[in-house]
Amino acid sequence: MSEHETETSSRIDGQARLGTLATLRRGLELSPELRTGLLLTLVLAVVATIGRVVIPFVVQQTTDNGIQAEGGTDVDYVVRAIALAAVVVLFTSLAQYAVNVRLFTAAESGLATLRLKAFRHIHDLSVLTQSTERRGALVSRVTSDVDTISMFVQFGGLMLLVSSAQIVLATILMVVYSPLLALVVYLCFVPLTLLVRRFQPILGRAYGTVRERVGDLLGSIGESIVGATTIRAYGVEDRTAARIDEAIDAHRTSAIRAQVRSVMAFVSGQTFAGITTAVVLVVGTVLAARGQLTLGQLLGFLFLVNLFTQPVLMATEILNEMQNAIAGWRRVIGVIDTPADVSDPGEDGVVLARGPITVDFQDVSFAYPGGGRVLRDVDLRIEPHTRVAVVGQTGSGKTTLAKLLTRLMDPVEGVVRLDGVDLREVSFASLRQRVVLVPQEGFLFDEDLAENIRFGRPDATDADLRLAVTELGLDSWVDGLPHGLQTQVGQRGESLSAGERQLVAIARAYLADPDLLVLDEATSAVDPATEVRVQRALEGLTTGRTSVAIAHRLSTAEAADVVVVVDAGRIVELGHHTELVGRGGVYSRMHASWAAQQAGV
C-alpha cells in the first residue's frame, strides 16, 4: 500500500549513457557468439574482397598490356587475364557465401542470447522496478530494440569487414601504382574523417530519441489494447486515438529527423569522394603529362579511387547505421545492467529444509523510493503452525508487509528472517518452494484451466489437479464450466470473472503446497459462500503450516489464531480475535463496523 511511491518515471536505465565503444564492448560481452570464429570470417572476407580488386587490375592490364600493347593488341594476353579473373571471381563468391552464412549464424545466435538475457533479467528485477515501465515498452526491449541491432550485426558487420578489407587492399594497390596519387587521395579524405567523428554523436542522439519514441509508441498502443473495456465504457475512443496519434507522430518525426541527419552524413562523404576523383584526375593528368605515369596507369588508378571511395562511403553509411543499432543496444544493455535490487543469492544461498516455518520481522521499515515510510519498526514473530490475519485500513501497509515477507521487496531497515535465516540469504528456489503469495489479481495465462493451476507445480498430474480442486471445494464450480478443467480461460483469463480468476490463483497456490502461504486479499472478489468454503479448505491445508492472510472481510480474522492490526505503518494490536474485540481498540471498532454490516441479515 504505497501511498507515497509516486516515482513513475522508468527506473530501468533505458539510456545507459555508455559511449559507442563501451556499448559495443558490453554488447559483445553479452553475446559472445558474435565473436566466435570472427578471425576466420575476417580471413574469408579478405579473400572475398580480392575478387572486387581483380576487375580494375584486369582492366589496367588489359588496356596497358593487351589492347594498347606495343606492336598491336595482344588478344591471347587478354583472354588469359580474363580466364584467370573468372576463376578468382568464382572463389570469391564461395568465400562471400561462407562469410554471409557465418555472420548470419553468429549474429542471430548472439542476439537470441541477448534477448534471453534481457528477458530473464526483466523477471529478475523487483516488482517495483518492473512496474515503473509500461509493458509495451518492456516488450520493445526484447523485440524491436534487439531487431535494430540485428540489422547492423548481420549486414553492417559484414559490410564493415568487407569494406575495411577493401580499403586496405585498394590502398596497397594505389600505393603500388602511384604513391603520390595515393597520398592525394588520403589527403582529400582527412576532412571526411573529422566530419564523420562530428556526425557520430549527433546521429547517436537522434537514434536514441527514435528508440525512446518506439517505446512510447508501443506503450500507448498497448493502452488501447489492455484498456479496451474502460475505453469503451467511458466512450473515450477519440481521446485515446488522439493520444496514440501523438505518439505515432512523435515517432514519425524523430525517425525522419534521424534519417535526414544520416543522409546528410552520407552526402558529405559522397562529396568528398567526388572531389577526390576530380583532384586525382587533375593531378594525374599533370603527372602523366610529365611522363611519371602512363595513361593506362592513370585510368587504372581512377578505378582504384572508385574502389577506395565506395567502401569508405559504405563504411560511413554503416557507422551511421551503427548509431541506430547502438541506440537499441543501449536500451537492451540498459535493462540488463539495471541492478536486480532484490537479487537471488543463487548458489551461495541458504537452502531451507521443508517443514513448519517461523517468521521473524525485526525492526523492519520500508519506504518506496522517493516516498516516506510506509512501514515503521515492525517487530513480529510468527510461530510455526500459526494462522495469522493481517487487518487494517487501506494504505496502512498490509500489502507491503506481505511483499516483504515473500521477498518481492527488501526492507529499507531491519531484517526479515525465515527459520532464523535472513531472507536475503535464502536461495530463491528454496524460498519460492516454501513461501507462496497469492496476490489479489492473480494473472492467468491464455491456456486451459488445468495448465493455469499446474503453474503452481509444473509436474502435477491430472489426478493431483482434481484432488486440489476437490479439496478446495471447487469441484462443483469447475464442473459447471463448459469444458471443466479443459476450459480455455482466454487472454489474461478474461473469459472468467474476477472472482473465478481468484479461485484459480488459490488452486494454483494450493497445488504448489508451500510451508507458508500468504494470501493478499486473495478472495476479495469471491462470493461469501464460496469464500467461506475455500477458507475452511485452506484451514485444513494450513493446519500444520503457517499462513498469513490479509483481508478486509473480518471473517478471516475471526478464524485466525493471531490477528495483526496494522495502522499507518505500525503494528498497533496483536492477539486473538476474541481478545482484541474485548480490548476496545482499533480492532474492536473495525469489528463493530463489520458486525453492523452483517447484522442486516
Partner 1 sequence: MPSPAATAPVPRPVGDRAVLRRGLRVIWGGMVAQRRPVMVAVVGSVLWAAATVATAWAIGWLTDEVVEPSVRAREVETAGLWMIFGVLVAVLVVNVLGVILRRVFATVAGFNLQADYRRRVTRQYLRLPLSWHHAHPSGQLLSNAHADIEATWQVFNPLPMAIGVIFMLLIAGTMMILVDPLLAILGLLVFPGLFAVNLVFQRVMSPRVTRAQQLRAEVAEVAHESFEAGLVVKAMGREDQETERFRVRTHQLRDSLILVGRTRGVFEPVIEAIPTLGTLAVLGVGTWQVSRGALDAADVVQMAYLFSILAFPVRALGWVLAEIPRSVVGHDRVQHVLGAHGGMSFGSTELARTARPAESALTDVSYAHPGEERPTIREVTLDVARGSTVALVGPTGSGKSTLTNLALRLVDADSGSVRIDGAEARQLARGEIPASASLVAQQTFMFDDSVRGNITLGEEADDASVWESLRIAQADDFVRSLPDGLDTVIGERGGSLSGGQRQRIALARAIWRTPRLLILDDATSAVDPSVEQAILAGLREARGGMTVLVVAYRMATILLADEVVYLERGQVVDRGSHADLVARCRGYLDLVQAYSREAAERAAVTRQEEVDR
Q: Which of 12, 16, 134, 573 forms a contact with partner 1 (CB under 8 A)?
A: 134
CA contacts within 13 A on the Cβ side of 409: 25
**Cell 580494375 appears where?**
56
Residue 139 binds partner 1, judged by CB under 8 A: yes
Q: 50 and 88 in contact (C-beta within 8 Å)?
A: yes
Q: Which of 534, 500, 507 is nearest to 451 (CA)?
A: 507
Residue closer to partner 1, measured from CB, 18 or 189: 189
Considering the complex, state which of residue 40 and residue 267 has its C-beta at the smaller distance from partner 1.
267
**Binding flag, residue 119, partner 1 (CB under 8 A):** yes
Binding segment for partner 1 (CB under 8 A), chosen from 12-20, 182-190, 492-500, 567-575, is 492-500
Question: With respect to partner 1, which residue has the nearer C-beta, 362 or 495?
Answer: 495
Asked whether position 71 contacts partner 1 by CB under 8 A, the answer is no
Q: Which three cell numbers mark 396?
A: 496502512
Out of 225, 355, 425, 583, the residue judged to bind partner 1 by CB under 8 A: 225
Binder to partner 1 among 116, 176, 180, 183 (CB under 8 A)?
Answer: 116
Q: Distance between CA 521 and CA 593 in Å, rounded?
A: 19
Residue 449 makes contact with partner 1 by CB under 8 A: no
Per CB under 8 A, the list member of 229, 347, 348, 353 interacting with partner 1 is: 229
> Which CB, 39 or 529, lies closer to partner 1?
529
Cβ-contact 294, 288 below 8 angstroms: yes
**To the nearest whole angstrom, how small is the minimum distance from the Cβ of residue 541 to partner 1?**
16
Backbone phi and psi for residue 234, each to the nearest 5 degrees, phi listed first: -100, 5
| Of 19 and 582, CB closest to partner 1 | 582
CB of 295 to partner 1, least distance (A): 5
Give me the amino acid identity at 309.
Answer: T
Give the residue with the Cβ less far from partner 1, 13 or 447.
Answer: 447
Q: Cβ 511 to partner 1, closest distance in Å?
A: 10
Which range of residues in 22-30, 60-68, 165-173, 376-384 is near partner 1 by CB under 8 A?
60-68
Q: Residue 574 interacts with partner 1 (CB under 8 A)?
A: no
The region of 183-191, 198-206, 325-333, 430-438 touching partner 1 under the rule CB under 8 A is 430-438
Residue 66, interface with partner 1 (CB under 8 A)? yes
Tell me whether strands 570-575 and 562-567 are parallel, antiparallel or unpaired.
antiparallel
Answer for which of 15, 171, 365, 555 binds partner 1 (CB under 8 A) is 555
Give the shortest CB-21-to-partner 1 separation in angstroms. Answer: 26
Q: Which of residues 501-530 bind partner 1 (CB under 8 A)?
A: 503, 505, 508-509, 512, 521, 524-530
Rule CB under 8 A: which of 246-285 touch partner 1? 248-249, 251-252, 255-256, 259-260, 263-264, 266-267, 270-271, 274-275, 277-279, 281-282, 284-285
Write phi, then psi, for 446 (nearest 5 degrees). -75, 75
Q: Report the site for partner 1 in 322-341 (rule: CB under 8 A).
A: none
Residue 56 binds to partner 1 (criterion: CB under 8 A) = yes
| Count of residues interacting with partner 1 (CB under 8 A) | 210
Residue 214 binding partner 1, by CB under 8 A: yes
Q: Which three cell numbers stand for residue 459?
A: 509436474
Among 149, 165, 302, 418, binds partner 1 (CB under 8 A): 302
**Which residues in the 339-358 window bind partner 1 by CB under 8 A?**
none
DSSP 288-350: HHTTSS-HHHHHHHHHHHHHHHHHHHHHHHHHHHHHHHHHHHHHHHHHHTS--SS---GGGSB
Among 46, 142, 169, 426, binds partner 1 (CB under 8 A): 142
- Please give the residues from 5 up to 44 whose contact with partner 1 meets the rule CB under 8 A: 5-8
Written as one letter, the residue type at 1 is M
* Cα gap 523→469, rounded to integer Å: 16
Minimal distance, residue 568 CB to partner 1, in Å: 12
CB burial of 163-195 (b: ≥16 within 10 Å; e: otherwise) equals bbbbbebbbebbbebbeebbebbeebbeebeeb
Taking CB under 8 A as the criterion, the residue among 45, 47, 138, 161 binding partner 1 is: 138
Beta bridge partners of 550: 390, 520
The residue within the footprint of partner 1, chosen from 16, 18, 53, 107 (CB under 8 A), is 107
Backbone angles phi, psi at 193, to 5 degrees: -55, -45
The yes or no reply on residue 78 touching partner 1 (CB under 8 A) is yes
According to the binding rule CB under 8 A, does residue 319 interact with partner 1? no
Of 306, 358, 362, 365, which lies in the binding site for partner 1, with binding defined by CB under 8 A?
306
Q: How many angstroms separate the CA atoms of 406 and 420, rounded?
A: 15
- Binding residue (CB under 8 A) for partner 1 from 31, 209, 338, 399: 399
Angle between helices 295-336 and 144-151 (to 10 degrees): 160
Q: CA–CA distance from 159 to each of 154, 256, 270, 312, 402 (Å)?
A: 9, 24, 17, 11, 55
Query: What SS3 state is found at 273?
Result: helix
Q: Which is nearer to partner 1, 18 or 387 (CB)?
A: 387
Kindly tell me the burial class for residue 341, based on how many C-beta atoms sit within 10 Å of its own C-beta (0-12, 13-18, 19 or more). Answer: middle
Task: Write down the residue that cell numbers 562523404 correspond to.
Answer: 269
| Residue 600, number of CB atoms within 10 A of its CB | 5
Note whether 157 binds partner 1 by CB under 8 A.
no
Could you identify the residue written with the cell 509516486? 6
Cell matching residue 521: 486479499
What is the rounded CA–CA span in Å between residue 212 and residue 216?
6
**390 and 399 in contact (C-beta within 8 Å)?**
no
Query: What is the footprint of partner 1 within residues 361-380 (CB under 8 A)?
Result: 368, 370
